[in-house]
Chains A and B, each alone.
Chain A
Amino acid sequence: MEECESINVCLREFGCEQSLLSRPDGSASFVQGDTSVMAGVYGPAEVKVSKEIYDRATLEVLIQPKVGLPGVRERSQEQCVRETCEASLLLSLHPRSSLTLVLQVLHDDGSLLSCLLNAACMTLLDAGLAMNCLFCGVTCAIDADGQIVTDPTAAQEKESRALMTFAMDSTDRKVLMTSTKGSFSVQEVCVFFCFLLVEVLSMCGSAGGVGHHKIKYFITVRVYRLYVFHSSTAAAVYSSESESIREDLPVLQRLSETPILQKPLTESQNFPFFAILVFYQIHTKSYRL
Chain B
Amino acid sequence: RYYDEYKNCHNTTLLRLDGRQTYDYRRIKITFGTDFGCCFVELGKTRVMAQVSCELVAPKDSRPIEGIMFFNIELSPMAAPSFETGRQSELSVKLNRQLERCLRNSKCIDTESLCVVSGEKVWQIRVDVHVLNHDGNLMDASSIAAIAALSHFRRPDVSVQGNDVTVYGPEEREPIPLSVYHMPISISFSFFKQGTFLLVDPSEREERVMDGLLMIAMNKHREICSIQSSGGIMLLKEQVMRCSKIASVKVSEITELINQALLNDKMARKAGERCGFAESMPQERITALKMDETPVEVTDAAETANEIISAAEDPAASPVVPLPGVGQVGNGLKNSWGLDEEEEEEEEEEDEEEDEDKGMKTSQQSDRSEGNVVEISDSEEDEVIVLNPETSCTAK
- B residues in contact with A210, CB < 8 Å: 289
> Cβ of A40: which chain B residues have Cβ within 8 Å of it?
78, 132-133
Give a binary string over B287-298; 1 marks a CB under 8 Å from any A CB, 0 the rest. Answer: 111111111111
Q: Is the CB of B291 within 8 A of A207?
A: yes
List of A residues within 8 angstroms of B78 by Cβ: 21, 23-24, 27, 38-40, 102, 104
Are B289 and A198 touching (Cβ within 8 A)?
A: no
Chain A contacts with B in 191-222, Cβ cutoff 8 A: 191, 193-195, 198-199, 202, 206-207, 210-211, 214, 217-218
Chain B residue with minimal CB distance to A260?
B286
Give the Cβ gap from B38 to chain A, nearest Cβ, in Å. Answer: 7
Q: Is the CB–CB distance between A62 and B295 below 8 Å?
A: no
A7 at the interface (CB under 8 A from B): yes
Is A244 part of the contact surface with B, judged by Cβ < 8 Å?
no
Give the interface residue-count category, chain A.
35 or more
Does A42 lie at the interface of the complex (its beta carbon under 8 Å from any beta carbon of B)? yes
Interface size grouping (class) on chain B: 35 or more
Q: Is B305 within 8 A of A202, CB to CB?
A: no
Instruction: Report how far A9 CA is from B79 CA in the complex, Å.
Output: 38
Contacts of A202 in B (CB 8 A): 294, 296
Among A13, A70, A187, point to the contact of B293 (Cβ < 8 A).
Answer: A13
Q: What are the interface flags for B127-148 relative to A under an 8 Å C-beta threshold, 1 for contact and 0 otherwise?
A: 0101011110000000000000
Q: In the complex, what residues of A have CB within 8 A of residue B85's CB?
A: 62, 70
- Which one, A15, A36, A64, A150, contacts B76 given CB within 8 A? A64
Contacts of A255 in B (CB 8 A): 286
Knowing A17-B287, A34-B278, say if A23 contacts B293 (CB, 8 Å).
no
Mark A53-76 against chain B: 1 for CB-CB distance below 8 A, else 0: 000000000101011101000000
Q: In the complex, are the beta carbons of A191 and B301 less than 8 A apart? A: yes
CA distance A16 to B291 in the complex (A): 9
Whether the Cβ atoms of B285 and A260 lie closer than 8 Å is yes
A90 within 8 A of B: no
Does B304 lie at the interface of the complex (its beta carbon under 8 Å from any beta carbon of A)? yes
Closest to B299 in A: A6
- Chain B CB within 8 A of A249 CB: no
Task: Tell whether A214 pairs with B302 under 8 Å between CB atoms, given A23-B134, A107-B33, A202-B294.
Answer: no
Interface assignment of B315: CB less than 8 Å from any CB of chain A:
yes
In the complex, whether B390 has a CB less than 8 A from a CB of chain A is no
Q: How far is the CB of A241 from chain B (nearest CB, A)?
A: 20
Q: Whole-angstrom distance from the CB of B345 to the nearest CB of chain A?
A: 41
Q: In the complex, which residues of chain B have a beta carbon less than 8 angstroms from the beta carbon of A45?
A: 81
B34 near A3 (CB under 8 angstroms)?
no
A260 to B287, Cβ gap below 8 A? yes
Partner of A10, one of B33, B51, B126, B294: B294
Which residues of A are found within 8 Å of B80, using beta-carbon distances? 23
Which parts of A271-289 form the interface with B (CB within 8 Å)?
none
- Given the interface contacts A17-B281, A104-B130, A106-B277, does A10 sit within 8 Å of B296 by beta carbon? yes
Q: Give per-residue flags for A210-247: 1 if the beta carbon is below 8 A from chain B beta carbons, else 0.
A: 11001001100000000000000000000000000000
Q: Which residues of chain B are within 8 angstroms of A260 by Cβ–Cβ distance?
A: 285-287
Q: Which residues of A contact B47 (CB under 8 A)?
A: 21
Best-buried of B299, B302, B308 by chain A (most CB within 10 Å): B302
Docked complex Cα distance between A18 and B290 (Å): 12
Q: Which of chain B's residues have a CB closer than 8 A to the CB of A36?
A: 276-278
Which chain A residues border B293 with CB–CB below 8 Å? 10-13
Q: Say whether A23 contacts B277, CB under 8 Å.
A: no
Chain B residues lying within 8 Å of A70, measured Cβ to Cβ, are 85
Shortest Cβ distance from B42 into A: residue: A20
Say whether B300 contacts A6, CB under 8 Å. Answer: yes
Say whether B53 faces chain A, with CB atoms less than 8 Å apart.
yes
Interface centre among A3, A20, A29, by most B CB within 10 Å? A20
Query: Contact partner of A6 among B34, B134, B276, B302, CB < 8 A?
Result: B302
- Shortest B53–chain A CB gap in Å is 5
CA A12 to CA B292, docked complex, whole Å: 7
Q: A19 to chain B: which residues have CB within 8 Å?
A: 287
Q: Mark B218-237, 1 if CB is under 8 A from A, else 0.
A: 00000000000000000000
Q: Which residue of B lies closest to A4 (CB)?
A: B302
Find out whether the CB atom of A102 lies under 8 angstroms from the CB atom of B45.
no
CB-based nearest A residue for B301 = A194
A-B pairs with beta carbons under 8 Å apart, 9 shown: A4-B305, A23-B79, A33-B278, A62-B77, A67-B126, A107-B33, A187-B305, A187-B306, A206-B289
Chain A residues within 8 Å of B, Cβ to Cβ: 1, 3-24, 27, 29, 31, 33-34, 36, 38-40, 42, 45, 62, 64, 66-68, 70, 100, 102, 104, 106-107, 109, 150, 186-187, 190-191, 193-195, 198-199, 202, 206-207, 210-211, 214, 217-218, 255, 258, 260
Which 3 A-B residue pairings sit nearest by Cβ, starting from the closest?
A15-B290, A40-B78, A194-B301
